[in-house]
């Protein structure tokens, strides 16, 4: 089960209710800038992780519609739209708040997202490397992104897309159970996205993993990552 470190208490808390009941993610993203965008990204990842685990999710932005530039940047970053204003689910719905570090939120379990600085999507020709660069840092750790680091993320992303396209030409094989477990253990422990990326790096170069299994592993992980890792299918030589 997905657990977060509750910013109020510093202790683990369930992000999903027992017995696969519904959950609500309430996002508190005030203002524009990379920190607000990072809050939306973490909320997007939380929703994706809950959905992969079979939890129905209602997700909304607190305080109505955010600034148009923040909404546009979020869309460019691959963040799926949230409802505006309060969205209520059935009785017993688990509510998790996602807010900037030090931000206000009603009582309840919350994820506090550390500040981020650096170029935004509008400053870049392709925002996918920015998404990867932000995910490479745990959301509780401040992220100061430099152009060189984003370029490095772009190189990694291009390499992975090329590899996925190449692996797709091999017979399909299931995701190895130990790999699937390692991926789930990472993201279900306080959305440890750096841990997820470490698993993918191990699968990329590790011996004994058939290419068909590498492909299925990356496709499975991309349900969470949202990096369009299969974008190059059909283009591998």
Q: Encode pLDDT of 28-72 as tens digits.
A: 987 778 999 999 999 999 999 999 999 999 898 886 555 788 888
pLDDT at 29: 81
**Average of pLDDT values for 112-131?**
94
| Boundaries of every domain in the chain | 3-127+137-145, 152-225
Which residues are CB-contacts of 237 (< 8 A; sequence separation ≥ 6)?
Answer: none
pTM of the model: 0.93
Cα–Cα distance measured from residue 143 to residue 3, given in angstroms and rounded to the nearest whole number: 22
User: pLDDT > 70: what percent of the chain?
Assistant: 92
**H-state helical runs in 86-210:** 128-135, 147-167, 177-187, 193-205
- Cα(47)–Cα(223) distance, integer angstroms: 11
The strand pair at 94-100 and 23-28 is best described as parallel
Give the number of other Cβ atoms within 10 Å of residue 194's Cβ: 14
pLDDT score recorded for residue 63: 67
Mean pLDDT of the chain: 90
How many contiguous H segments (helices) and E segments (strands) does the chain have?
A: 7, 9
Rounded to an integer, the average pLDDT of 156-163 is: 97
Give the pair of three-digit tokens for residue 86.
């309060």
| DSSP category for residue 19 | G
pLDDT, position 104? 78
Q: Which fold has domain 152-225?
A: 1.20.120
């Amino acid at each position: 089960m997905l657990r977060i470190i509750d910013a109020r208490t510093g202790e683990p808390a369930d992000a999903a209710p027992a017995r696969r009941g519904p959950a609500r993610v309430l996002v508190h993203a005030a203002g524009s800038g990379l920190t607000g965008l990072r809050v939306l990204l973490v909320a997007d990842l939380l929703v994706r992780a809950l959905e992969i685990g079979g939890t129905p999710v209602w997700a909304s932005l607190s305080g109505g519609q955010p600034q148009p530039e923040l909404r546009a940047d979020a869309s460019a970053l691959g963040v799926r739209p949230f409802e505006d204003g309060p969205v209520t689910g059935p009785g017993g719905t688990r509510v998790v708040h996602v807010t900037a570090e030090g931000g206000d939120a009603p009582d309840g379990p919350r994820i506090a997202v550390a500040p981020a600085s650096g170029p935004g999507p509008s400053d870049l020709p392709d925002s996918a490397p920015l998404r990867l660069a932000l995910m490479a840092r745990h959301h509780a750790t401040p992220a100061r992104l430099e152009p060189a680091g984003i370029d490095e993320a772009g190189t990694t992303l291009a390499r992975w897309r090329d590899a996925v396209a190449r692996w797709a030409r091999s017979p399909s094989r299931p995701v190895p159970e130990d790999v699937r477990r390692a991926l789930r253990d990472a993201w279900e422990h306080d959305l440890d996205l750096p841990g997820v990326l470490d698993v993918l790096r191990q699968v990329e170069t590790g011996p004994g993993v058939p290419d068909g299994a590498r492909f299925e592993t990356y496709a499975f992980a991309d349900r969470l990552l949202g990096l369009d890792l299969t974008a190059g299918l059909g283009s591998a030589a």
